[in-house]
A and B are shown apart, each in its own frame.
Chain A
Amino acid sequence: MRIWRNIWAIFLRELGAYFLSPIAWVVLFLFLIINGATFYLFARIYAEQPRQITLIVESLFGFSLFWILPLSPLLTMRLVAEEKRVGSLELLMTAPVGEAEVVLGKFLAAQAFYTLVWLSLTPLFVILEVLGDVDWGPIGAVYCGLFALGFLTNALGVLASTVTRNQLVAAVLALSGNLVLFYIPLTQSLLSPDALDAARFVRFLSFTSHFEWDYSKGIVDLRYLALYGSLTAFLLFLSVRVLEARKWR
C-alpha cells in the first residue's frame, strides 16, 4: 500500500516534469513533424498502388522504428542523473521511500511518456481509416511490440541514468545499449550454417527483427513479451542496486 503510494507519487511528479521540461516538447514536436512528413511522402509514393493503405502503414512504421534508438535515451537521461547533479537525490532518498520505489516510479513515468509519443501517430491512421479501410490488427500488434520494447529500452535508459550524474553520459550509454540491440541480428553471420539452434537463439534476441516478422503481420508472440519483461526486470534490479550502492560499507 505504502509502496504503491510512493511509486504513484514519484510517477506523477516525473510525468509532470516531462511536461515542464523543454526536451519532452522538442522530442514530441520533432517526432510529429518528421513522421507527418514521412506519412505525406508515402501517401504520395503509394497513391496509385493497390493495397496502398497497408503499404503506407508498413512503411511508416518501418521508418519510425529508427526512433527507437534515440527516444528512450532522450526521455530517461534526466531521471536520476539530474537528481544526482543537483543534489535533490539527497532529499528524495531521505524521505521514507525505498530505492525500488524511486526506480519504478521514474521508469513508469518514462514508459508513459514514451507510449504517449508513439500514440501521437494514431491520428495518421485515423486519417487513413477515413479515406479507406485500415487493418487495425497489425497496427495494434506493432504498438504492442513498441510498448514491450519500450520497457526494455527505458529500463536500459534508467540504468544508464543511475550510474552517472551527467545527463549526456547517460544518454550516450543508453544509446549505445540500444545500438547493440539493433546489431544483434548481424551476429548471425558469425555462426556456421549448421548451428541451427544458435541461429534460432540469435533470432529470438533480434529485437528489431521481431517487428519485421511478427508484429507487422499482426502476430504478438508471448515468448518475446516474456523475454522483454525479464530483461526489463533485470535492468531495473540493477538500477536499484546502483542507487543503493552509496549505502554499501
Chain B
Amino acid sequence: MIEVCELSKSFGPVRALHQVTFNAEEGQVLGFLGPNGAGKSTTMRIITGFLPGDHGSVRVAGHDVARNSLAVRQLVGYLPEGVPIYPEMRVGEYLKFRARLKGVPRRERRAAVGKALESTDVADVRRRVIGTLSRGYRQRVGLADALLAEPRVLILDEPTIGLDPEQVRQFRQLLREVGRHRTVVLSTHILSEVEVSCSHVVVIHRGRIVARDTAANLRRKYGTVERTTAEVAGPIEEIRQRLERLPQVLTVHAVPLVPGSSPDPSSGNLSHESAAPEAATGPRFGYSRFIVESALGSDLREDVFKTVQQNGWLLRELRRQSVSLEDAFVEIVGGPRG
C-alpha cells in the first residue's frame, strides 16, 4: 500500500533522511519509531505529498506521490504533529469544511461528520470553538478530521501526545477498529505505544532506517541477552572475574555503590554500617552492583548465588530480566553510532 524506496531528503546542509526504504501493507499498523529529530515527521510529510523528497520514490496505492499527489491525497487521512487546526472555528464547522474539501458528497457530509465525531468521542464539543479546547480534545478533533473521508491510508504523527491514559486506551481501541481495513502509519518516540498498537515496526535514527521488522521479531532479534543484576559486597575485581568465568556469560559490568546513596533506602544505611563481610580479608567492602549479560534463555541466578556463597561475600539483590523492546530500541539507537 505504501512503498517508500531509497528516499533521501536534505534541508540545506542538514541531511534529514538517507536512503529510507520500507513498506506497509493493507491491514498493517506500522509503528514509525525514533527519537526526536530522527526524521519521522519529514518522512510523513513526504508520504502525504506536502514536501518532495530529493531522491528515491514514494508510492501510495500505486500512485507516485511526486507525480500524482492529488490521487494520493484523496486516499490519505493525515494528522500532523501538533494538530495545527484553525483555532477560531467551531469543531462541527471545521469538520464540515474539511469534509467539503475532501470531496465528501453534500448529502453524506452530515453523516460523515457525525460518524467521525462519534468514533473519536468529541461529539459533546462540536459547538465549542477549537481554540478553547484542551490538548486532548484538539488531538481527537484532528483525528476525526483524518478519518473523515474514510481514507484507505492513515498517517498519524505522534497521535497520542497530550492524551490522558484513558484517552490513550480509547485511541488504541479506535486504532484497532479502523486499522483492520486500512493501512496505518503512526510515528512515536514512545515504545509502549508501538508494543501495544503496532504489528510492524520501523526504527529510524538520524535519518536512516536502523531496524525494520514485526514487533515480535524485533524483540527476538535484538533481545539477544538475559540480564542478571546482583548487588554484592566484596572485592570488586575478584567478584567480576569470578562472575565472568560462569558458563554462558557474555559481559560483566561492575558499578561500585557509594555507601548511603544506595537506590534502596531501607538497606542503604545498613550497607554503610555493617556491609563488611567477616570472611573478606583486607579493608571493609561496600556493595557493588554487577550486571551480568548472558546468552538468551540462560538463567544465572543460582550460579551467581553459589559463587557469592562459596566466597563468603554478601548478597542483597538478585534479579533477572529479559531485554524488552525498550532495551532493543536503546540498543539500536544508541548502538554503534550512538
Select one of B52, B84, B93, B98 contacting A95, CB under 8 A.
Answer: B98
- If over half of A's interface residues share one DSSP class (helix, strand or loop), that class is named, otherwise mixed; here it is helix
Q: A13-B97, A17-B88 are in contact. Are A91 and B74 (CB under 8 A)?
A: no
| Any A CB within 8 A of the CB of B101 | yes
| Any B CB within 8 A of the CB of A49 | no
| Any A CB within 8 A of the CB of B45 | yes
CB distance from A86 to the nearest CB of B (A): 5
Q: How many chain B residues touch A (Cβ–Cβ < 8 Å)?
A: 28
Query: Which residues from chain B contact A9 at a C-beta distance below 8 Å?
Result: 97, 100-101
Query: Which residues from chain B contact A86 at a C-beta distance below 8 Å?
Result: 84, 87
- If over half of B's interface residues share one DSSP class (helix, strand or loop), that class is named, otherwise mixed; here it is loop
Q: A16-B93, A17-B88, A249-B52 are in contact. Are A97 and B101 (CB under 8 A)?
A: yes
Measured in the bound complex, the distance between the Cα atoms of B45 and A86 in whole Å is: 16
Query: Which residues from chain A contact B54 at a C-beta distance below 8 Å?
Result: 249
| Any B CB within 8 A of the CB of A127 | no
Contact B103 A94 (CB under 8 A): no
Scan residues 74-104 of chain B and give those whose CB is less than 8 A from a CB of chain A.
74, 76, 78, 80, 82, 84-89, 93, 97-98, 100-103
Contact B70 A91 (CB under 8 A): no
Contact A5 B103 (CB under 8 A): yes
| Any A CB within 8 A of the CB of B179 | no
Measured in the bound complex, the distance between the Cα atoms of B231 and A95 in whole Å is: 58
Scan residues 31-69 of chain B and give those whose CB is less than 8 A from a CB of chain A.
45, 48-52, 54
| Contact code string A1-28 (vs B, CB < 8 Å = 1, else 0) | 0100110111011001100110000000
Closest to A249 in B: B52
Query: Which residues from chain A contact B76 at a C-beta distance below 8 Å?
Result: 94
Query: Which residues from chain B contact A8 at a C-beta distance below 8 Å?
Result: 100
Query: Which residues from chain B contact A17 at a C-beta distance below 8 Å?
Result: 86, 88-89
Contact A90 B74 (CB under 8 A): no
Query: Which residues from chain A contact B70 at a C-beta distance below 8 Å?
Result: 96, 98
Scan residues 79-95 of chain A and give those whose CB is less than 8 A from a CB of chain B.
86-88, 90-95
A residues with a Cβ closer than 8 A to B are 2, 5-6, 8-10, 12-13, 16-17, 20-21, 86-88, 90-98, 246-249
